[in-house]
Amino acid sequence: MRDKIRNSYRGHVIFNGLVSGVVTCLLEFIILINVMVIDRLAGTEKPIERVVREKSMGEMIFPILIYVMVGIFIYTICFYIMQRRYTRYVQEIAAAMQNISDGNLNIHVEVRGDDELADMALQLNSMVEEIKNLMAQEREAEKTKNDLITNVAHDLRTPLTSIIGYLELLSANQTLSDEKKQQYVEVALKKSQHLQKLIEDLFGFTKMSYGKVVVQMGELDIVKLMEQLLDEFYPVFSAQNLECKYHTNISSLKIRADGTLLARLFDNLINNAVKYGKDGKLIKVDLEGIDDGIIIKITNFGKIIPQAELGMIFDKFYRVEQSRSLDTGGAGLGLAIAKSITQLHGGKIQAESSLKGTVFQVWLPISGENKEIYEIKSEK
């Protein structure tokens, strides 16, 4: 408690006041001694009692007043000198606050000492950084809104235009053959399904961005989940003339996760591999159990992603193929959603691309009680 008071601004003021008082007393005592010495040398020295008896009260007031005024002057000068650095510090903080109120956020107040003024400077710097972060978030939110409007307008308009066009053809031309009608209906249905997928991605990403996704954790077998997903993708692989090779070093591993979200995570990654890896004719899925978790790698052998773009492919609305063709992708949210789901499960996701293929790697943690559940397969 004593140290706290001593190191506080109030403690500094009290200390400086006491020191100034002591200095004032010492200086006045020295002045008085000097006056007495001068009187003695001049031969006018008289005992104090005699001076008091000979002088009237009116005659003594003036020298006493002068003596007091000199003391006040000395005290003021001493106190000002000792408080000068604190005064300047207060002025510096006040100037910084004025600059901040004027909109200048490129302000940093040096934190000196450990008293209330130092705390004020520290809080002021923290406030400036927080304001900067809030402004950056606001700009990012504004940019996201503009991107959403621009990209959604483009991505939704294209299939919607096709649907309307084919339906108008069916409505206006009654002489179309049954074969043509069936063809137009199938195209409209395909476009409608694609439109539905775009809307689901948009709603899904919006929910994740604003923390409205409820994660329902439960025990599931990640190996079985991956096998089931790959079985469901078999018709897609066949239609695209793709071969899928699946390898795992574990036969079973139960983890706590949201099965629906994990299924969507790997569904997005496999879909991405199919869309951008058609030319490679092969997709590899590797599932590996390690000490601190599980690693799932999904590799395609399509076009190489430039290194400069690898750091942006998980950003919302970003697509390597800048024309935003419906044949090669959706709204650019699939990988952003995959990243969000991975983070919701405490995992990590990354991508690498080279002549050896484009690899999307997901690491998911394993809780302590599940580390001993799986058995490693013997290598063949």
| Per-residue tokens: 136 | 């950056």
The answer to whether the CB of 301 falls within 8 A of the CB of 281 is: yes
- In the chain, which segments carry CATH 3.30.565.10? 218-370
**Based on the number of CB atoms within 10 Å of its own CB, is 151 exposed (0-12), middle (13-18) or buried (19 or more)?**
buried
- Multiple choice CATH, 143-209, 3.40.50.1860, 3.40.190.150, 3.40.50.720, 1.10.287.130: 1.10.287.130
Residue with tokens 């600059």: 99
Bigger pLDDT: 210 or 219? 219
Distances (CA, A) of 345 to 214, 223, 364: 12, 17, 7
| Per-residue tokens: 356 | 């050896």
pLDDT at site 208: 64
The answer to whether the CB of 205 falls within 8 A of the CB of 147 is: no
Task: Render the burial of 177-195: b for 16+ CB within 10 Å, e for the rest.
Answer: eeeeeeebeeebeebeebb
Q: Whole-angstrom Cα distance, residue 220 to residue 253?
A: 8
Specify the DSSP class assigned to residue 329. -
Query: Which residues is 45 bridged to in the sheet?
Result: none
- In the chain, which segments carry CATH 1.10.287.130? 143-209
> What is the 3-state composition of the chain as percent helix, strand, coil, each rounded to the nearest 5?
60, 15, 25
Task: Read off the pLDDT of residues 57-107 as tens digits, 9 standing for 90 and up.
Answer: 455 566 667 767 777 777 777 777 777 777 777 778 888 888 888 877 787
Please say if the pLDDT value at position 252 is more than 80. Answer: yes
pLDDT at site 235: 84
pLDDT at site 307: 83
Task: Read off the pLDDT of residues 135-157 as tens digits, 9 standing for 90 and up.
Answer: 888 887 777 667 666 666 666 77
Bigger pLDDT: 11 or 284? 284
Specify the DSSP class assigned to residue 218. E
pLDDT at site 298: 93
CA end-to-end distance (rounded Å), the chain? 71
For 218-370, CATH gives 3.30.565.10
pLDDT at site 7: 55
Task: Read off the pLDDT of residues 319-378 as tens digits, 9 standing for 90 and up.
Answer: 555 444 545 455 567 788 888 888 888 899 999 988 888 999 999 988 644 444 444 333
3-state secondary structure 73-122: HHHHHHHHHHHHHHHHHHHHHHHHHHHHHCCCCCCCCCCCCCCHHHHHHH
pLDDT at site 271: 87
